[in-house]
Amino acid sequence: MDPDFINRFLEKNPLLKKKQSLLESIQPGTYCYHKGWGVGCIQSIHETDNRIQIAFENHQEPKSMDLAFGLQILQFLPENHLIVEVRKDVNAAQVLLRSQPTAWVIKALQNFPEHKASALELETILSQALSPFFKPDRFKRWWVSMQKILVKDPMICIPKHKNDVYTLREQPISREQELVEAFLSTPQPDKKIGIGRQLCQSNAQWDSIRESIPQLLTIITALANNSTLSLAQRLEACWIRNDFSHFLDAAAPEPEPTAQSILQTVQDAKKIAACAEKIPHCFQERFFNLLPKAYPHEWQSIALSLIKHGSISLIDTSLQFLWNHEGKALLQKTLCQWLQEQILSNPLIIWIIKHRKTPPYDSLVPPLLQVSFLTCIFQKIDQDALNVLPGRRLALAEEINKDTSLISDLLQHTNQAVAADLVHTLLHNHGLDDLKKRSLFARFIRVFPELQQLNRKNSGSSEEILFVSEASLEAAKKEYDELVTVKIPAVKQAIAEAREKGDLRENSEYKMAKQDQTVLLSRKSMLEKYIRNARVIQAQEVQTDQVNVGTKVTLKGGKVYHYTILGAWDSDPQKNILSYQTPFAQSMLGKTVGDKVTLPDGEIVSIQSIQRA
């Protein structure tokens, strides 16, 4: 910018004298950033009226701005700024983005004081810098995947807690060295064990931390001996200790306490199951291999107990373990007995549904695929509906609705009478909404078409027909379309964005979005039912020999009253328009001219005339 112009400008705006060095750097081609308008580039400077013209990337037309105002609200970017670097050579930036994406995170950190930035600061500057390559939603996905990659980058120290920052290191260190530092600096035993687990999963790279392993071994051995820790934590500490010990000396025996001696202190099957649920996946094989050693006579019954009461992942591991240890006959006998006694757990039922056609279990599951299995499913869903809070998702209900071939598979070896009983159970199930009932019932009909008649008999009692006006039906359809196409997708996106911000237990945005979603889905389900059962009142079909929906009724008592009886959603009391479902309208339906009617205030009047509305 011309020095004479700068002097004249500062004489008129003495409060901006501290901006002199900035004014000297501003010229056409200088990039700037505005919080609302994004990245812009100065096109020209008009010295006569002290204005600058800026082309913003998110706007088609350039914006003219007073220079003094611009100095206060714009961030002017130096030539070496990340945002400017990208725009000076877009092709080179794109090549680097593809070949070495972490380099952009390093470049971004170099733009911050002390090369440190919070996750939000880093995400913000990268989204601005890389906007030529990413739309906002695509950038979000890129950043989520990038955060997982950064964990392994030796130049970047990632945040260990929510309020920590990303830091660019002066010298690279390996991931294992970083874990050792975290292990030694963390006072909490559970976190030390968690970090030790991560080290065990990367033990192929332990040469860089060989000198630290004796110290780690001493600490983790103390944790294995700590009786205040849970059974699962002590076992995990033992296995981590063993890995450290074997790395230093492959022939070293397992020191005391051994994992077997720790596990043998517990004899209660429920406590063993609770422990198994807390064992991380990477150590579960070791846990199950330990069972026959710790419980040589009871290990099979313990494994069956884990199947009976465990989660889906624990069931899968327990079944696989028994299967591989010649337990196929025992599994088949026990599962059939549990089915006969109707004591299959929900996770076990879901496992059976998912694996009924998966080798090698396709030879184990078929004896269970009986009508009694479907009866058990419906009973479990009904029980869940009574025990779970309203609006909560029922996993078993979702699973049978998703598996489109399950019902036809289970009905192959039964008759129509049994299928009809099952349909009756289905239609009166409290855990299935109307749409799921209809969807599941359609699968019964594919096997037994005659059951369609049963649907007609039940339809009158299960769902009431609603008489509505055409205008109110169109309004309901419009509201439904807006829910499906706008509001529900918007709240789904809000949930996804809130979930990315961290701990869901303290995430108020996530909780509010989930509450909004529950309300919207409930309204959607209600509208679906209303629209499905709606019948438009046709004026030409309205009979006037008695009070019907769609009639205008004149009543005479102390004075004359006029009431119009319309559809379920058409009430307008100020205009004396009543829904036929209101108590007063119900009291008039079916009556003829001359009949007596009691008004809401208690006055007795007579029907003088009935006309079409």
Strands 604-612 and 596-598: antiparallel
CATH hierarchy code of domain 83-172: 1.10.10.10
Give me the pLDDT at residue 305, please.
92
**Token pair recorded at residue 596:** 């007596």
Q: What is 3-77's CATH number, 2.40.50, 3.40.50, 2.30.30, 1.25.40?
A: 2.30.30
Tokens at residue 322, please?
């028994």
pLDDT of residue 40: 93
Amino acid occupying residue 410: L
Query: How far is 74 from 328, CA to CA, in rounded Å?
Result: 72
Report d(CA 315, CA 351) in Å as an integer: 8
Q: How far is it, in rounded angstroms, from Cα 99 to Cα 110? A: 20
* Rounded CA separation 602/109 (Å): 79
3-state secondary structure of 352: helix
Read off the tokens for 224.
């294995």
Q: Write out pLDDT tens, residues 129-151.
A: 998 998 888 999 999 999 888 88
Residue 460's pLDDT is what?
Answer: 43
pLDDT at 388: 66
Question: CA 410, CA 303: separation in Å to the nearest integer?
Answer: 28
Kindly report the CATH number that applies to the domain delimited by 539-612. Answer: 3.10.50.30
Alpha carbon of residue 455 to chain centroid: 35
Res 351: pLDDT: 94
The architecture in CATH of the region 466-536 reads Orthogonal Bundle (1.10)
Q: What is the largest CA-CA distance in the chain?
A: 107
- Residues paired with residue 607 on neighbouring β-strands, in sequence order: 555
Which residues of the chain are under the pLDDT cut of 50? 459-462
180 with 212: CB under 8 angstroms? yes
Counting every residue written for the chain, the total comes to: 613
Domain-wise residue ranges, the chain: 3-77, 83-172, 466-536, 539-612
Q: How far is CA 531 from CA 10, 258, 473, 510, 613, in A?
A: 69, 66, 7, 31, 23
> For residue 461, what pLDDT is reported?
43
Burial of 347 (0-12, 13-18, 19+ CB in 10 A): buried
User: Model-level pTM?
Assistant: 0.54
What is the DSSP pairing of strand 560-566 with strand 577-579? parallel
Distances (CA, A) of 114 to 160, 300, 362, 406: 18, 59, 60, 60
Q: Are 611 and 552 in contact (CB under 8 A)?
A: yes
